[in-house]
Amino acid sequence: MATPGVAVLLSWLSCCGWALWRYSSNSPNYLIFSTRSTINLEYEGTAFSEWSVPESCSIQDKRSPRTELRCSSPGFQAIKPVVTGPEEEERNLYVGDSYTCFLWYFRVRNLFHNLTQIISIWIYDPENADPEELLWKAKEPSLHSIVLSKQLAIMGQKPTIHTILQRKAYFPYEDQRKGIWHILVPMTSDDVIKEIKGNQVIFQDCFVADMLFLLTFPLATISENPGSLPISSPAGSQLMSSWMACVPSYVVVVTDKETFQTNDSFRTWTKIRVPPNSLSDSERQNVTGVSLLRDGIYFLINGILYLKNHHSFRKLGRKQNLPSGIIGIKSRKWCWVKYMFKNKGRRSRMVVWTENEIYLGYSSFKYFQVGTINELKSLLHVSPAATLRIHNIEYSAHPVELAVFLSYCITCTVTNKICMVIYNEDLRQWVFQDFALDIPVDSFLVPHFLFSSLPELVLRDRHTIYYCYQNFTVTGIVQTTAGHGNLSLLSDNSIIHDIFTDYYGNILVKMENNIIFFFKINTRDAVKLHVWLSDTTKTLFMLGTSGEIYLLNAFNNGTIQALEYPLNLEIQSIAFKTEDTCPYLAFHNNIFRRFYILDKRDILRLWAQIVYPENIGLYIILETYGPQILEIKEHLHYEIALGYSIKTMALVFSQSINYEAVDDYFKLQNDNTGSVLVNLRPSEYSKMCPASHWVFQISVGCDITKSMIVKGSSKNSCIPYDFSYVIDKSYLRGQPSKNLEVKYNWDVYGCPVRLHVSEKFQPVLQLFNDSGHMEDIPVNFLVWEIHGRDDYSFNNTMKQSGCLNEAQTWKSMTELNKHLPLEAAWGPEFL
């Protein structure tokens, strides 16, 4: 080929080979995408001629690569650019006809002196908002938003903030002023999911949409010091990230140019850099692992763990009980705000491993070894001639479990067998799983556990996705529409970069060239989605402050950009062509919490309901994972109406253990406590189903948030002061030589109960939890004197109180427990 011809070909490939188009709306996260919405169209490339749109849609300038579109009719609208050269892909965008037009806007001000947050709220119309409001940078409402908020307030509109986890509600503490409502909420780290809801008020045929968002105790990003130097991954490598499990908006991302941190899903961010001379240039550019925890950012560089926090950048090693030669670090991905430990212990925050050892990391930079390769060989009864290595480690969706993937081979020349053991941090036990997978010796698997009660996961190598569903009973390779499982063949020979999963069962597979595949938990085939980004951009999927998925793009000039991604619209567009539909219309339940706790005699009643077309034959599946300590009763109700079937499953969870007159009360109690993960799901679903399953935890045991107080002794009913009293020596046992001065402990006993000297004392015990007063406790109780005085008496004798046998007495208990102090001689452990 002549030189000019080569130049022309290279020029065409460079400018036109990655042409693509996408769209956006003024509504954040595509929350409103209707006949009232402006759809912004954007084409990237040089071959553009004009836009092809339906007659029901009006376009501002059909010959402009960037233009605006409005569709007056609801339904699927076929849109594509007309180009010179290969035909561009067509999208079928679903335009709704919703009566929701307005949105809530909010700003947060932190008050650290009383650990509260003031949330300023107003209403705005995304089609008539100021640019600052559309970018979520507005500090006050625009004139249009002020008028709109005042008008709706006159008609009865008022926002309320509801918390999802603890079911609390907060209201404006004053009337609206200048179009703004103000609501005061406490700072919290265990009730972070909130929702702004309003009254059902309509204005110009439009409602205000409810808004889900994440608000936690303020977490500051690490500031950049002058003169510090970038820390990055090796040149040419893809992005890596880590986020706090219960605060997904708090993220760190490592690129091959810089490291970035955010606390608001990259609306704002800081660069993470290290002091000069702390690392060599080659070390600074060789980050191979990262974990973000509350106390800082952990970097894995050349087999050594480093910690960067607000105060320092330092190397971790023998002082923290860490070895050298570290090959991997992982932190938790799935959030369990509450969980119960059956035994005394703590939950780890991070796992660190070498080729032969596994360490768990806790707060205060403490690391403890929990396993070695030799111990695992003994557990698995591996032949002495075999080679066993730690292949990879990942935390599962269970709150206290992690999975260790082991590579096993004898000749180790062609294939390795991957097996798995699960470590339970509460029971401190290793359990071998019925899982085995043969892979080539040069292949490396990366596991991704799904949010489910049973152990369910997908694994990836460079070209293929393996699925393991329903506690490893359903396994295989994810297939494509081409009839095979090699995703690289459908991605211009690109390899898999990352898999992103969320709490709704969505699974996104991103190739290095930004081709995206989609499937859902418990499905076995993936579809290729429309191209959204060019193959030259390095990107990652993230979870935003409102639970939405977004893309983070990193550019070669060392900058980043967060880009909203309309997952549901893209899935609907593909499903329109493949005619994929969800087999059911609705899947409802009354499960309002992720965590329930059952104390003795407690009963938990729940229900789930599925609605589907008649004669399909769907049903609801209940799955549990954990100890067999619950009695579960199921009742099914079935009805048919207007061609639809409705199945309702009523569930009752309880225990019927009789603890009276047993030989070993505490052993029986220990045997029947623990945590059970529960999963409710339809028997069938597809990639088009919005929610495929519901996961929650039932813990059986003592609720640590419960407390008992004597009625009238609440710590909040009086003002503590330095109070002490003297007991005369004549009233004390043993006839001591001095009087006893007793300092009243306000923290332990609360406020003193005031009684007249002639009143009989009959304490009323009240039970509280973190939601407030639960009930008065109608049970017997003990009262004992801990300072040694003996001048008191009782109103009744044992006989008058109806005792059939002689009851325990202070004298008998102190004689029996002479080795214990008075305050411990008669306590619950001796009952």
Q: Token pair for residue 482?
A: 């081409």
Residue that is written with structure tokens 């490592």 in the block: 254
Lowest mean pLDDT among 29-33, 345-349, 529-533, 617-621: 345-349
What pLDDT, on the 0 to 100 scale, is given for residue 18? 66
Residue 636 has pLDDT above 90, yes or no: yes
Residue that is written with structure tokens 């993220």 in the block: 251
562-584 confidence digits (pLDDT tens)? 999 999 999 999 999 888 899 99
Q: Using DSSP, how many helices (H) and how many strands (E) does the chain show?
A: 10, 57
Helix (H, G, I), strand (E, B) or coil at 666: helix
Residues contacting 344, CB < 8 A, separation 6+ = none
The mean per-residue pLDDT over the stretch 310-327 comes to 93
Question: What single letter denotes the amino acid at residue 503?
Answer: Y
419-436 confidence digits (pLDDT tens)? 999 999 999 999 999 899
The full DSSP string for 320-341 is GT--S---EEEE--S--S----
740 DSSP β-pair partners: 727
Burial of 156 (0-12, 13-18, 19+ CB in 10 A): exposed
Cα–Cα distance, 663 to 53 (Å, whole number): 79
Cα–Cα distance, 85 to 62 (Å, whole number): 19
Residue 263 has pLDDT above 50, yes or no: yes
> How crowded is residue 120: how many other Cβ atoms within 10 Å of its Cβ?
16
Given a contact cutoff of 8 angstroms between Cβ atoms, the answer to whether 120 and 109 are in contact is yes
The mean per-residue pLDDT over the stretch 112-131 comes to 95
> How crowded is residue 628: how many other Cβ atoms within 10 Å of its Cβ?
9
The mean per-residue pLDDT over the stretch 393-413 comes to 93
The mean per-residue pLDDT over the stretch 54-78 comes to 95
Q: Which residues of 739-766 are buried (b: 16+ CB within 10 A; e: fewer)?
A: eeeeeeebeeebbeeeeeeeeeeeeeeb
Cα–Cα distance, 127 to 68 (Å, whole number): 12
Mean pLDDT, the chain, rounded, equals 89
What pLDDT, on the 0 to 100 scale, is given for residue 155? 94
What pLDDT, on the 0 to 100 scale, is given for residue 345? 77
Residue 400 has pLDDT above 80, yes or no: yes
What pLDDT, on the 0 to 100 scale, is given for residue 615? 85
Residue 268 has, within 13 A of its CA and on its CB side, a CA count of 8
Q: Which residue has the higher pLDDT, 167 or 565?
A: 565
Residue 759 has, within 13 A of its CA and on its CB side, a CA count of 7
Is the pTM higher than 0.85? The answer reads: yes
Q: Which residue has the higher pLDDT, 101 or 6?
A: 101
> How crowded is residue 512: how many other Cβ atoms within 10 Å of its Cβ?
17
Residue that is written with structure tokens 């109180």 in the block: 801
What pLDDT, on the 0 to 100 scale, is given for residue 734? 78
Cα–Cα distance, 161 to 193 (Å, whole number): 10
620 DSSP β-pair partners: 682
465-519 confidence digits (pLDDT tens)? 999 999 999 999 999 988 899 999 999 999 999 999 999 999 999 999 999 999 9
Helix (H, G, I), strand (E, B) or coil at 290: strand
Residue 2 has pLDDT above 50, yes or no: no
Given a contact cutoff of 8 angstroms between Cβ atoms, the answer to whether 14 and 74 are in contact is no
What pLDDT, on the 0 to 100 scale, is given for residue 481? 87
What pLDDT, on the 0 to 100 scale, is given for residue 830? 42
Give the confidence band of 16 by pLDDT, cuts at 50, 70, 90. Answer: very low
Given a contact cutoff of 8 angstroms between Cβ atoms, the answer to whether 683 and 583 are in contact is no
Question: What single letter denotes the amino acid at residue 62?
Answer: K
Give the confidence band of 547 by pLDDT, cuts at 50, 70, 90. Answer: confident
Helix (H, G, I), strand (E, B) or coil at 825: helix
Give the confidence band of 823 by pLDDT, cuts at 50, 70, 90. Answer: low
Radius of gyration, CA atoms only, the chain: 32
774-785 confidence digits (pLDDT tens)? 888 877 666 667
Residue 531 has pLDDT above 70, yes or no: yes
The mean per-residue pLDDT over the stretch 531-543 comes to 93
Q: Which residue has the higher pLDDT, 669 or 151?
A: 151
The mean per-residue pLDDT over the stretch 625-653 comes to 94
Residues contacting 819, CB < 8 A, separation 6+ = none
- Cα angle, residue 553 at apex, residues 284 and 95 outer, rounded to 5°: 165
Q: Which domains does the chain have, with CATH numbers?
A: 3-95 (2.60.40), 100-214 (2.60.40), 234-316 (2.40.10), 586-700 (2.60.40)
Cα–Cα distance, 751 to 664 (Å, whole number): 37
639 DSSP β-pair partners: 646
Residue 453 has, within 13 A of its CA and on its CB side, a CA count of 22
525 DSSP β-pair partners: 479
What pLDDT, on the 0 to 100 scale, is given for residue 826? 65
Spatial CA neighbour of 229 closest among 269, 266, 270, 281: 281
- Cα angle, residue 275 at apex, residues 274 and 280 outer, rounded to 5°: 80
The mean per-residue pLDDT over the stretch 229-239 comes to 96
The mean per-residue pLDDT over the stretch 400-406 comes to 95
What pLDDT, on the 0 to 100 scale, is given for residue 15? 40
Q: Token pair for residue 588?
A: 């409802």
The bridge status of strand 193-197 relative to strand 211-214 is antiparallel
Q: Which residue has the higher pLDDT, 341 or 310?
A: 310
Helix (H, G, I), strand (E, B) or coil at 495: coil
> How crowded is residue 150: how many other Cβ atoms within 10 Å of its Cβ?
18
686-705 confidence digits (pLDDT tens)? 888 887 789 999 999 887 77
Sign of CA dihedral 232, 237, 243, 248: positive
The bridge status of strand 595-598 relative to strand 694-700 is parallel
What pLDDT, on the 0 to 100 scale, is given for residue 780? 66
Burial of 564 (0-12, 13-18, 19+ CB in 10 A): middle
Lowest mean pLDDT among 171-185, 303-317, 711-725: 711-725
Share of the chain above pLDDT 70, in %: 96
The mean per-residue pLDDT over the stretch 325-333 comes to 96
